[in-house]
Amino acid sequence: MSDPLAPIKNLTLAKDIDIFYPVVHGNLGEDGTLQGLFKLLKKPYVGSGVLASAASFDKDITKQILTHHHIQNTKYVVVTPENRDQMTYAYLQAHVGDHLFIKPANQGSSIGIHKAENEQEYLDGLADAFKYDYKILVEESIDNPCEVECSILGNENPKASKLGAIDVPKTDTFYDYNNKFVDASGVTFELPVELPADLTKRIQQMSLDAFKALGLKGMARVDFL
């Protein structure tokens, strides 16, 4: 029987690898796992470390850190198997809002995300989200959102990029997995996006503040609605 760890062991012997540049999505790639492997291999790599990667991949932990540093983010509650029965749609209407977004805390690429505008949509969305994680975020929905993105590059003195915007067809509920990876024909990108100068500066500063608060390094993308 072949050794399942052989590929990893071989990496420790590779003399021609100067540095790892991780360009992978999702679990095991962005959540600190791959970064931990690089540390075990004692090989340098680009990007954030284990803790920052893990914290920024977990939406709940990210929002706790942002809130602690007084960085604005949407209202939300966390639903787990332990408190699921108490997190009724009526409770969420009172504490979050009538229109909700349901998100697995540790997923990317809009996997398992649902918009709910009534109790049945909430229950169905929650059931699906629990297929991907044991911890679910239920966030307030932002009316008529414009999705704006800001890139950050650097370490001790990071710099914010110009802003870009993503426009999703009105027939779609949000920028979902299909828009991103299956059929992006109706999605338009504006780079740079023309926003009022004071708003642009505010978004860039919030991006830098979030980057520093989360302990990120190298590069990151910060999204806004």
| pTM for the predicted model, two decimal places | 0.89
Per-residue pLDDT tens digits for 105-141:
999 878 889 999 999 999 999 999 999 999 999 999 9
- Distance from the Cα of residue 49 to its chain's centroid: 16
Mean pLDDT value of segment 6-24: 79
Residues 180 and 203 in one domain: yes
Per-residue pLDDT tens digits for 149-205:
999 999 999 999 999 998 877 766 777 667 677 777 778 889 999 999 999 999 999
Residues 152 and 126 in one domain: no
CA dihedral 63→64→68→71, nearest 10 degrees, is: 0
What is the model's pLDDT at position 177? 67
What is the model's pLDDT at position 13? 72
CATH number at residue 216: 3.30.470.20
Residues 160 and 127 in one domain: no
Q: What is the mean pLDDT of the chain?
A: 90
Give me the domain span that covers residue 81: 76-140
